[in-house]
Amino acid sequence: MKITWFGHSAFRVEIAGATILIDPFLTGNPSFPEGVTVEQASAGVTHILLTHGHDDHIGDTIDIAKRTGAQLTANFEICMWASGQGVDTINPMNSGGKVDCGPFQVAMTVAHHSSSTQGEGGIATYLGNPHGLVLSAANEPTLYHMGDTDIFSDMALINEFHAPKIGIVPIGDRFTMGAKAAATACKRFFGFDIIIPCHYATFPILDQSADGFLAEMGDGASKVAVPERGVAFEV
């Protein structure tokens, strides 16, 4: 599995038979790496997965899906909204379910957040409940992208059902878990081999580094990978 972080919560995941974008907020993302274009970030994409409907997660989904024909997997409301925007290949689901995407499977988990897109005049369009995503494939470690969420005790059940080994964890505070809550979630509820922090250092109101999270992880900090934005790494 090859993973590339594009800042905020946007990731590219490459496995045999699939190139996946998760929450592709690229255009307008202050932390999107310089020297990388949206076309380069989305080259060869076959699937797009969305955790929820906020604009800093939907990002370039509509344009990329229409340009590439990539399959969009998201909750029912997002998929219906995207279909109305001209996206042809949708794969709607919801929390508790699992879908087969060919080279991999996706399960949706609960996340404690909200979900909408902002229209003209700041009017919000409801886009279903927020979720986390569990991505599993043969001969690959199971990956859990938590989406935007607070800590919750039923994370223990997510670990029991899915046993993810790679955790993509929001740490930026204010809108998601901060450093202490994120570290507590990782240490108390999961047996991750690799933890990738996200949703920080994008906007001034978020925590500006992963340092606090690393400190809170204590002895578990050795499991934390803080990737260079735009640089792929193998897991």
Instruction: Give pLDDT, residue 119.
Output: 87
User: What pLDDT, in 10s, does the model give residues 134-152?
Assistant: 999 999 999 999 999 999 9
Q: Which helix (H) or strand (E) holds 186?
A: helix 179-189
CA-to-CA separations, 90 to 41, 82, 99, 101, 149, in angstroms, rounded:
21, 8, 12, 11, 24
pTM greater than 0.95 (yes/no):
yes
Q: Which domains does the chain have, with CATH numbers?
A: 2-234 (3.60.15.10)
Q: Please give the backbone phi and psi of residue 213, each rounded to the nearest 5 degrees, phi first.
A: -65, -45
What mean pLDDT value characterizes the chain?
98
CA 62 to chain centre: 16
**Mean of pLDDT values over 158-162:** 98
User: Is 90 exceeded by the pLDDT of residue 177?
Assistant: yes
* C-alpha–C-alpha distance, residues 104 and 54, integer Å: 25
